Structure 1
Amino acid sequence: MATETSTPPGRASTGRRSRRRGVPVPYDFRRPTKLSRQHARVLEITYETFCRQWATLLSSTLRTTVQVELDGIQQYSYDEYVASLPVPSVMAVFDPQPLVGAGILHLDTPALLGWVDRMLGGNGGGQQPTRALTEIESVLGRQLIERTLTELAFSLTTLVDLHPSLTSLEQNPQFAQAGSATDVMIVATFELQLGGSAGQATLAMPLDSLSTALTAAELRVASPEELRTRRLMRDRLDDHLEHIPVDVAVRFAPAALRPDEILALAPGDVLRLPHRADTPLDIVASGARIATAVAGSRGPRLACLVVPTPEESA
């Protein structure tokens, strides 16, 4: 199950269909995935159950065949996720008790308007407008979302005894206060087919509390031998990680130049760096500062001596 950070859910999808074609998903080592492969697989199975339950609910409510398919599970920060949602939008914020944090169910506005049309006796066809919901549409949409959350709780029974309650229905995601900008969310993307129309929905849950529930469920079903094997593999992985070579560099403070100054550079030119002579150099790895050092030599080779950072010295 791909859980790497990639294109936000409101844009092009890189979930299950990409994996079926054998296309690798880019991995950003500066923002590591915190959801293990085992947990991602458990979530995939759980959400596939939710797809079947949700499709049955929508089919019986809308009096037509509805297909719901899991498209992928990805990891995003809350800020990235909200920024990817269109405006206006249908963003249902719910309290996923006993999990800590807030969950979000997002629906395409035109898709929800088509559902409301069918609930009111229409055929749900034609091009639906992209606009804010009226008061009646909001009430009908809220009722359908609350029933959807009931099906979600049923699907997660094997993981956690979930009691979700809808707290708000926002139509501008920027106004929703469902988490801080850096909170990590696990976002599941669903493709919905209703007759000849298609829609998309996303379900976002807080990673930390969801991982805790997944770990607890995993420990409940794992045998002692499986637990011993996992501990052994984890210890081996930790040992090998400590001996992986990593490229590091010693860096002066950067100098800022205008484009015309850069284009005018020629061999032999000397640049004045804004680095004070009494200021330690930065030791960096993958662009991140990990320590400070002073320049020196060791025999015929240039070297540096690691020293306390100015913050540590203070």
Structure 2
Amino acid sequence: MAEILSQKEIDALLSALSTGEISAEEMKQDKKEKKVRVYDFKRPNKFSKEQLRTLNMIHENFARLLTTYLSAHLRTLVQINVFYVEQMSYYEFISSVPNPSIIGITDFNPLKGSGILEINPNIAFAIIDRLLGGPGEFEGKIRGLTEIETTIIEKVIKDILRILKDAWDNLINLNLALVNIETNAQFIQLIAPNETVALITFNGKIGKTEGMLNLCIPHILLEPIINKLSARYWFSDVKKESSGENIQQIAYIMKKSLVPININLGRSTITIRELLEIQKGDVIQLDKKVNEAVDVYIGSRLKFRGHPGILKNKMAVEITDIVEEVENGYE
């Protein structure tokens, strides 16, 4: 494609011609000279820019879904963003992975081959700490995983792969499966060292802990669907996708979402002195009768009414009525 000059460059060129700084003959001579572009045959570019942009779009969607999942699952501030997408040799990727690290070898069935999901230990230990009741911070020395930590991180990686599958569903129906977890990248020989891979790097933040997540996908694995990695195919495929499948995906994600539920048993007015003098066994009279329905709030909205009780030695509420939206004051 011919180089397009800006208006500023055109004005400068005309000015140089008018002042005699450059002649038309010199311009013709420069045009005749062949432009040489450096090409390294040891590292051929197998992914086009358009294909890399498509991979970027797919995994931006994945980053949003993963942020939503981890925020609800860990109940803390989580932010996952695509940092960059590039192609490199498999050797370069393996050499850049720290040791030890959390490396999940992933099967991309029905595509033939495996990819790598590498999680920085800072992020992995922050997730483990949060799931075990901690603040979700990690400032200790990098080390290998214990058996309990390995079991926890295996479940987290499997959930991440399920979300990655959802992100790829518009392009291909993948059955992603975790094959194994390694800590030393030098022991993983999936493909030849000089093979080209697509590296999608994510910047992750969990609470105050930051780290990188890397997804390595070999070109040979994506070769059967490489023609589909174009923006034209991507957008046309999204339009053709049936609304029923979209609804199922949204319903599946919503079912996994956590929302706060509050039960309002009633209200009462007491003095501060009475509040300070409350003892075990005291009775506070509420403004609701025993057989009267209680209000059930989803978040801050009144959605149901029901009756409190006991189920399997645990406090519970039986939903008996759905509050109409008009009653809530909105349509």
**2:109 counterpart of 1:97:** yes
Of the three residues 130, 134, 146, the one matched with 2:146 is 134
Distance in 2, matches of 1:171 and 1:192, equals 19
Equivalent residue, structure 1, for 2:155: 143
Deviation at 1:220, TM superposition (A): 5.5
Verify: 1:45 aligned to 2:45, yes or no. no
1:29 to 26, 33, 39: 39
Partner residue in 1 for 2:164: 152
**Cα separation, partners in 2 of 1:84 and 1:220, compared to 1, 3 Å:** closer
CA distance in 1, matches of 2:226, 2:61: 16
Q: 1:208 aligns with which of 200, 207, 220?
A: 220
Among 75, 89, 107, the alignment partner of 1:63 is: 75
8 Å CA contact 1:68, 1:193 repeated in 2: yes
How far, CA to CA, are the matches of 2:234 and 2:150 in structure 1? 42
Partner SS state of residue 189, structure 1: strand
Contact 1:73 1:187 in 2 (8 A): yes
Residue 207 of structure 1: how far off its partner (Å):
1.1
Instruction: Report the AA paired with residue 38 of structure 1.
Output: E
Give the drift of 1:102: 1.1
**Deviation (angstroms), 1:148:** 0.2
2:211 aligned to which of 191, 199, 214: 199
TM superposition shift of 1:155: 0.2
State how far apart, in whole Å, the 2-side matches of 1:94 and 1:59 are: 24
**Take 2:229 and 2:122, find their aligned partners in 1: how far apart are those partners?**
37
Q: 1:79 to 1:196 in 2, by over 3 A?
A: same
- TM normalised by structure 1 equals 0.59
| In the alignment, structure 1 residue 163 sits paired with structure 2 residue 175 | yes
Are 2:195 and 1:186 equivalent residues in the alignment?
no
- Mean Cα deviation higher: 30-39 or 146-155: 30-39
TM-score, normalised via structure 2 length? 0.56
Q: Sort the Cα spacing of 1:82 and 1:54 in 2 relative to 1 into closer, same or farther, 3 A.
A: same
- Which of 100, 103, 109 pairs up with 1:88? 100
**CA contact 1:191–1:199 (8 Å) conserved in 2:** yes
Distance in structure 1 (CA, Å) of the matches to 2:116 and 2:148: 22
What residue identity is the alignment partner of 1:115?
I
Code of the residue aligned with 1:101 in structure 2: it is G
Shift in alpha-carbon separation, 1:104–1:222, aligned structure 2, 3 A: closer
The answer for unaligned runs of 5 or more in structure 1 is 1-26, 224-314
Q: Secondary structure at the match of 2:192?
A: coil
Aligned length: 197
C-alpha contact 1:90 1:109 (8 A) present in aligned 2: yes
Cα distance in 1 for partners of 2:138, 2:182 equals 25
Please tell me whether the aligned partners of residues 90 and 106 of structure 1 are also in contact (alpha carbons under 8 angstroms).
yes
Cα separation, 2, equivalents of 1:198 and 1:71: 13
Instruction: Provide the rounded CA distance (Å) in 2 between the counterparts of 1:49 and 1:222.
Output: 14
- State how far apart, in whole Å, the 2-side matches of 1:148 and 1:215 are: 26
Contact 2:65 2:163 in 1 (8 A): yes
Distance, in Å, in 1 between the alignment partners of 2:123 and 2:59 is 20
Q: Aligned residues: percent identity?
A: 32
Q: Cα distance, 1:57 vs. partner?
A: 1.5
Q: Which has the larger radius of gyration?
A: 2
Which structure 2 residue ranges, 5 or more long, are not aligned? 1-36, 237-331
Offset at residue 211 of structure 1 (A): 4.4
RMSD value, Cα: 2.0
Q: 1:186 to 1:221 in 2, by over 3 A?
A: closer
- Residue 76 of structure 1: how far off its partner (Å): 1.6
Amino acid at match of 2:73: T
Q: Which residue identity lines up with residue 218 of structure 2 in the other structure?
A: P
From 166, 170, 185, give the equivalent of 1:173. 185
**Is this contact kept in 1: 2:114–2:221, CA < 8 A?**
no
> How far is 1:98 from its partner?
1.4
